[in-house]
């Protein structure tokens, strides 16, 4: 079988690097081009540990991208940049699979929202795929098994490593400012708050923070329930909902963010019920660069080409 050619637009960031490593080791995908204005002409191998190929960064004009003949295109750009690139493909009448890693199309019903564990049944060959946010992935997987018995908004307290702030310098990835610190930001109206509320059809209140570690996030979700449960019923719901899902692990104990770095799955645990059985607290941890981004993108790309969803993902 011939290889499927992948173009990555805007691959200088942390997620782009993770995706390059996954795609380079994949048995069916090959890198067609990788763009970065800052690194143009430099070999990927000089910037991505573990990558041994000979591809170099390029910087084509957006209007030239359709002519590069990739079977699939990954947009790994900051929010607000995707539409102008998508338009180039539309204008040229070229229709590769396009997966957008930003938030730009997460609210567009014409794009498939690719959180496979929850939306797999909604995939019917769409060639435009929106990859969920990292926090949004963790929150949805933590809440979904109880979605039909929620009573009032769900509160989620989140803490992420500073890789979630990207490579553009800011207070949120300034190691000196983060040392011995926990930095709150966007405490109402965060894009992931709106994303999760839309996808679950239920209000979620999200309070994100940045910590001094590099990668991995944790969220603690507080769920008010309309009926009383005992703890065994809770475990049965979560284990039943995610049975057969290799990238979701339900633990007896609370997961630790320090143990999830470099892992491709999400862990759910710390299940705690109030005395009346009507308040549940759930903890979720994931690597924000992997299951929160690059690994999930690979799940979606595999699905788009009829491959095993987990092909090329270390389980």
Instruction: Cite the active site residues.
Output: 134
Beta bridge partners of 301: none
| Cα 109 → chain centroid | 18
- Looking up tokens 């963010």, which residue turns up? 257
SS3 at position 54: coil
In this structure, are residues 36 and 12 in contact, taking their beta carbons and an 8 Å threshold?
yes
CA distances from 292 to 62, 71, 125, 132, 140 (A): 27, 24, 23, 8, 12
Give every CB contact of residue 230 below 8 A, 6+ residues apart in sequence.
273, 277
In this structure, are residues 302 and 252 in contact, taking their beta carbons and an 8 Å threshold?
no
Tell me how far apart the alpha carbons of residues 271 and 252 are, in angstroms, rounded to a whole number: 8
């Amino acid at each position: 079988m011939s290889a499927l050619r992948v173009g990555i637009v805007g691959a200088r960031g942390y997620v782009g690097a993770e995706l390059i490593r996954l795609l380079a080791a994949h048995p069916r995908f090959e890198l067609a081009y990788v763009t970065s204005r800052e690194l143009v002409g430099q070999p990927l191998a000089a910037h991505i540990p573990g990558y041994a190929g000979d591809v170099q960064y390029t910087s084509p004009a957006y209007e030239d991208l359709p002519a590069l003949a990739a079977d699939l295109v990954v947009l790994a750009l900051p929010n607000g940049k995707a539409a102008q690139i998508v338009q180039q493909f539309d204008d040229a009448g070229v229709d590769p699979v396009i997966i957008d890693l930003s938030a730009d199309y997460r609210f567009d019903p014409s794009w498939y929202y690719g959180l496979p564990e929850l939306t797999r049944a909604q995939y019917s060959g769409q060639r435009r795929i929106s990859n969920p946010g990292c926090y949004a992935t963790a929150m949805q997987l933590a809440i979904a098994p109880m979605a039909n018995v929620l009573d009032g908004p769900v509160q989620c307290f989140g803490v992420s490593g500073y890789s979630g702030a990207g490579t553009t310098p800011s207070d949120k990835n300034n190691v000196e400012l983060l040392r011995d610190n926990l930095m709150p930001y966007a405490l109402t109206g965060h894009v992931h708050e709106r994303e999760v509320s839309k996808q679950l059809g239920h209000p979620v209140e999200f309070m994100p923070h940045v910590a001094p570690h590099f990668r991995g996030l944790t969220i603690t979700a507080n769920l008010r329930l309309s009926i009383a449960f005992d703890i065994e019923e809770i475990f049965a719901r979560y284990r039943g909902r995610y049975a057969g899902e290799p990238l979701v692990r339900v633990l007896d104990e609370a997961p630790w963010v320090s143990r999830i770095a470099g892992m491709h799955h999400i862990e759910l645990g710390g299940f705690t019920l109030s005395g009346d059985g009507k308040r549940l607290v759930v903890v979720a941890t994931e690597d924000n660069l992997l299951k929160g981004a690059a690994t999930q993108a690979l799940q979606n790309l595999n699905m788009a080409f009829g491959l095993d969803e987990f092909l090329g993902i270390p389980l």
